[in-house]
Structure 1
Amino acid sequence: MRSLYFRWLPNFITIGRFVLTPAAIDMIVTENWPAAFGVFVLAGASDALDGWLAKRFDLRTELGALLDPLADKALIVSIYATLALVGVLPSWLALLVISRDVLIIGAVAVSWLLQRRIDLSPLPVSKATTAAQLALAALVLATRAFAFPLDEAVLTLSVAVSALTVVSAAVYLWRWIRNMGP
């Protein structure tokens, strides 16, 4: 029998991601770019680790199924908003990324309030969108932390993030409308 602590390890790691998010924000605001990059990479790695542990050792829980996407959204929304506020990312891109997540959370909340069951499993386009959003944030932080001249890569990835974010939002909206129908 697995110990209670091991059983909840993925959830503890996810909660750690919630704790790392404000630390990364503070480091961005104070322009401590190497530390911000390191904390962000650690938060991203924690996402991969908690998911791997949950699947590999069958440690999935209902709480984890709720906390993990919320931790992802908190990290991404916070990082994009902060990078836009300090002038490193364009505001329109941050608003696009944030709007998608607000749309998803709002749709889930409305479904819950109306007592309509909704499938919360992530779609492949959503996983690709999240991966691209995380990659762009990491790339932007790395360019600041290590003075990498990667402006073209940032621009290219920004276009990809924009397209994936719009497509993902449209797919989720379509899925939600079908779910809410008669």
Structure 2
Amino acid sequence: MTVPNYITIFRFILVPFIVMALLSNYVGAALIGFIVAGVSDGVDGYIARRYDQRSELGAYLDPIADKLLLVTLFVVLGFLKELPVWLVVIVVSRDILIIGAVLLSTVMANPVEMRPLLVSKANTALQILLVVFTLADMRFEFSFGDGRMILVWVVALLTAASATAYLLAWTKHMAGYEQNRK
């Protein structure tokens, strides 16, 4: 266990508190919790790189913590009718697709090495921005006008593009596996 792993575990622990804050209408606390989670993600990555505290456990925990936080907030914000349900379905479906593909390739004894794609990094950044805009709008009653809806559509398109890119890479990986077995 390294310091970055403890920080990542802290992010896991933050998720239910952020959800409870949102569901209890303490949106300011949820926004602060989300920002703390985001900052802790940057801090754990910095410490891991700077002090050579990278670990195999951390390589798995970090993206799981990130996805758990984002997917959970998308679901809750959809439940609260702050984000369109169709967007929540797209975001959650993409992550289920990726997890299913990784599990299937592992079960078939052909594990796929998952590296974040550029489109996926852009997608995650815009998902985070959308959550921050949504929480800020809920808490401070900002009016982002059409900006928030434009961001919703950009996130939807990037999520679909990211899912497609991962699916194509996975299909290519699995096709190579089938050819190598013959």
Moved over 6 A (4+): none
2:118 partner amino acid: P
After TM superposition, the structure 1 = structure 2 runs for residues 103-182 of structure 1, keeping only pairs within 5 Å, are 103-181=97-175, 182=178
| Root mean square deviation, CA, Å | 1.1
Name the % identity: 42
- Note the C-alpha offset of 1:120: 1.4
Distance in structure 2 (CA, Å) of the matches to 1:131 and 1:53: 21
Distance in structure 2 (CA, Å) of the matches to 1:173 and 1:105: 11
Query: Secondary structure of 1:88's match?
Result: coil
Query: Secondary structure of 2:95's match?
Result: helix
Distance in structure 2 (CA, Å) of the matches to 1:84 and 1:69: 22
Query: Secondary structure of 2:25's match?
Result: coil
Long gaps (5+) in structure 1: 1-6
- Note the C-alpha offset of 1:151: 3.2
Query: Secondary structure of 2:119's match?
Result: helix
Distance in structure 2 (CA, Å) of the matches to 1:27 and 1:167: 32
Match of 1:72 among 48, 66, 70: 66
TM-score (norm 1): 0.93
Query: Secondary structure of 1:150's match?
Result: coil
Q: How many residues align?
A: 176
- Note the C-alpha offset of 1:124: 1.3
Distance in structure 2 (CA, Å) of the matches to 1:151 and 1:67: 37
Q: Which residue of 2 aligns with 1:98?
A: 92
- Note the C-alpha offset of 1:117: 2.4
Distance in structure 2 (CA, Å) of the matches to 1:17 and 1:46: 7
Match of 1:12 among 6, 31, 34: 6
CA-to-partner distance for each residue in 1:122-148, whole Å, 9 max, x for gaps?
Answer: 111111111111110011001111111
Long gaps (5+) in structure 2: none
2:13 partner amino acid: V
TM-score (norm 2): 0.93
